[in-house]
Amino acid sequence: MAQGEIVAGCLAPHPPHLVYAENPEQNEPVAEGGWEQLRWGYERLRDSLKGIEYDAIVILSPHWQTYVGTHFLGLENFQSLSVDPIFPNLFRYHYDMNVDVELAQQIHDKADKAGLTVKMMTNPDFRVDYGTITTGHMFRPQWDKP
Protein backbone atom coordinates (compact mmCIF):
# COMPACT_ATOMS: atom_id res chain seq x y z
CA MET A 1 0.00 0.00 0.00
CA ALA A 2 1.37 3.41 -1.00
CA GLN A 3 1.89 5.87 1.83
CA GLY A 4 1.33 9.59 1.58
CA GLU A 5 0.42 12.58 3.65
CA ILE A 6 -2.43 15.03 3.84
CA VAL A 7 -1.07 18.44 2.83
CA ALA A 8 -4.21 20.56 3.27
CA GLY A 9 -7.84 20.38 4.27
CA CYS A 10 -10.83 22.66 4.00
CA LEU A 11 -14.56 22.81 4.62
CA ALA A 12 -15.86 23.78 1.20
CA PRO A 13 -19.36 25.13 0.49
CA HIS A 14 -20.79 23.65 -2.68
CA PRO A 15 -23.96 25.36 -3.96
CA PRO A 16 -24.14 25.01 -7.76
CA HIS A 17 -24.58 28.79 -7.97
CA LEU A 18 -20.80 29.11 -7.51
CA VAL A 19 -20.11 27.31 -10.79
CA TYR A 20 -22.94 29.21 -12.49
CA ALA A 21 -21.39 32.54 -11.45
CA GLU A 22 -17.95 31.48 -12.78
CA ASN A 23 -19.30 30.83 -16.31
CA PRO A 24 -17.01 27.87 -17.13
CA GLU A 25 -17.33 26.33 -20.58
CA GLN A 26 -18.54 23.05 -19.05
CA ASN A 27 -21.72 24.70 -17.69
CA GLU A 28 -24.43 25.45 -20.27
CA PRO A 29 -26.22 28.38 -18.52
CA VAL A 30 -24.51 31.78 -18.50
CA ALA A 31 -24.49 34.19 -15.53
CA GLU A 32 -23.49 37.76 -14.85
CA GLY A 33 -21.48 36.95 -11.71
CA GLY A 34 -22.52 36.72 -8.09
CA TRP A 35 -21.52 34.77 -5.00
CA GLU A 36 -18.24 36.69 -4.94
CA GLN A 37 -17.40 36.10 -1.27
CA LEU A 38 -17.46 32.32 -1.65
CA ARG A 39 -15.79 32.40 -5.06
CA TRP A 40 -13.00 34.60 -3.69
CA GLY A 41 -12.56 32.09 -0.86
CA TYR A 42 -11.98 29.31 -3.39
CA GLU A 43 -9.62 31.61 -5.28
CA ARG A 44 -7.57 32.14 -2.11
CA LEU A 45 -7.58 28.39 -1.50
CA ARG A 46 -6.26 27.73 -5.02
CA ASP A 47 -3.57 30.39 -4.54
CA SER A 48 -2.50 28.89 -1.21
CA LEU A 49 -1.91 25.51 -2.86
CA LYS A 50 0.17 26.76 -5.80
CA GLY A 51 3.47 26.00 -4.06
CA ILE A 52 2.39 22.65 -2.63
CA GLU A 53 2.96 19.44 -4.54
CA TYR A 54 0.09 16.95 -4.25
CA ASP A 55 -1.21 13.98 -6.19
CA ALA A 56 -4.93 13.82 -5.45
CA ILE A 57 -7.88 15.75 -4.04
CA VAL A 58 -10.23 14.01 -1.60
CA ILE A 59 -13.76 15.43 -1.59
CA LEU A 60 -16.36 14.36 0.98
CA SER A 61 -19.73 15.67 -0.10
CA PRO A 62 -22.19 14.87 2.71
CA HIS A 63 -25.00 16.71 0.93
CA TRP A 64 -27.39 13.86 0.13
CA GLN A 65 -28.57 11.31 2.66
CA THR A 66 -28.67 7.86 1.06
CA TYR A 67 -29.81 4.41 2.06
CA VAL A 68 -26.41 2.92 1.23
CA GLY A 69 -24.29 5.30 3.31
CA THR A 70 -21.24 7.06 1.96
CA HIS A 71 -20.46 6.52 -1.72
CA PHE A 72 -16.90 6.15 -2.94
CA LEU A 73 -16.14 6.49 -6.65
CA GLY A 74 -14.74 3.15 -7.79
CA LEU A 75 -13.91 3.70 -11.46
CA GLU A 76 -10.96 5.56 -12.97
CA ASN A 77 -13.21 7.98 -14.85
CA PHE A 78 -16.71 9.39 -14.59
CA GLN A 79 -18.15 11.68 -17.24
CA SER A 80 -21.66 12.86 -17.92
CA LEU A 81 -23.96 15.87 -17.75
CA SER A 82 -24.98 16.82 -14.22
CA VAL A 83 -28.24 18.75 -13.96
CA ASP A 84 -29.18 20.13 -10.57
CA PRO A 85 -32.68 18.86 -9.72
CA ILE A 86 -33.64 22.07 -7.90
CA PHE A 87 -31.81 24.62 -10.06
CA PRO A 88 -31.71 23.07 -13.57
CA ASN A 89 -31.56 26.54 -15.13
CA LEU A 90 -28.32 27.28 -13.20
CA PHE A 91 -26.36 24.03 -13.31
CA ARG A 92 -26.06 21.86 -16.42
CA TYR A 93 -22.42 20.88 -16.10
CA HIS A 94 -20.52 18.53 -18.40
CA TYR A 95 -17.99 16.79 -16.16
CA ASP A 96 -15.10 14.46 -16.93
CA MET A 97 -13.28 13.48 -13.74
CA ASN A 98 -10.52 11.02 -13.04
CA VAL A 99 -10.44 9.07 -9.79
CA ASP A 100 -7.57 7.59 -7.80
CA VAL A 101 -9.38 4.29 -7.29
CA GLU A 102 -6.66 2.80 -5.08
CA LEU A 103 -6.92 5.75 -2.68
CA ALA A 104 -10.74 5.66 -2.78
CA GLN A 105 -10.69 1.94 -1.99
CA GLN A 106 -8.31 2.46 0.94
CA ILE A 107 -10.50 5.20 2.43
CA HIS A 108 -13.59 3.04 1.82
CA ASP A 109 -12.01 0.08 3.61
CA LYS A 110 -10.95 2.21 6.61
CA ALA A 111 -14.46 3.67 6.88
CA ASP A 112 -16.00 0.20 6.58
CA LYS A 113 -13.68 -1.16 9.27
CA ALA A 114 -14.70 1.76 11.51
CA GLY A 115 -18.34 0.68 11.17
CA LEU A 116 -19.62 3.25 8.67
CA THR A 117 -22.08 2.20 5.99
CA VAL A 118 -20.17 2.55 2.71
CA LYS A 119 -20.42 1.49 -0.93
CA MET A 120 -17.97 1.59 -3.85
CA MET A 121 -19.75 2.96 -6.92
CA THR A 122 -18.55 0.98 -9.94
CA ASN A 123 -21.45 1.71 -12.29
CA PRO A 124 -20.11 3.92 -15.12
CA ASP A 125 -23.54 5.60 -15.28
CA PHE A 126 -23.47 6.56 -11.59
CA ARG A 127 -24.58 10.19 -11.24
CA VAL A 128 -21.87 12.06 -9.35
CA ASP A 129 -23.57 14.56 -7.06
CA TYR A 130 -23.35 18.27 -7.78
CA GLY A 131 -21.65 18.90 -4.43
CA THR A 132 -18.66 16.86 -5.56
CA ILE A 133 -18.68 18.45 -9.01
CA THR A 134 -19.02 22.01 -7.67
CA THR A 135 -16.26 21.52 -5.10
CA GLY A 136 -14.02 19.82 -7.67
CA HIS A 137 -14.51 22.62 -10.18
CA MET A 138 -14.02 25.43 -7.69
CA PHE A 139 -11.00 23.73 -6.08
CA ARG A 140 -9.21 22.93 -9.34
CA PRO A 141 -11.05 24.03 -12.53
CA GLN A 142 -8.44 22.30 -14.72
CA TRP A 143 -9.61 18.90 -13.42
CA ASP A 144 -6.03 17.65 -13.81
CA LYS A 145 -5.80 15.83 -10.46
CA PRO A 146 -7.74 12.70 -9.54
pLDDT at 63 over 80: no
pLDDT of residue 65: 63
Strands (DSSP E) found in 84-122: 92-98, 118-121
**Could you give the C-alpha distances from 133 to 12, 59, 61, 126, in angstroms and in order?**
12, 9, 9, 13
pLDDT at 107 over 70: yes
Share of the chain above pLDDT 90, in %: 63
Q: What domains are there in the chain, each with its CATH number? A: 17-139 (3.40.830.10)
**Could you give the C-alpha distances from 46 to 30, 65, 68, 118, in angstroms and in order?**
23, 29, 33, 30
| Mean pLDDT computed over 14-26 | 90
pLDDT of residue 49: 92
Q: What is the pTM of this model?
A: 0.86
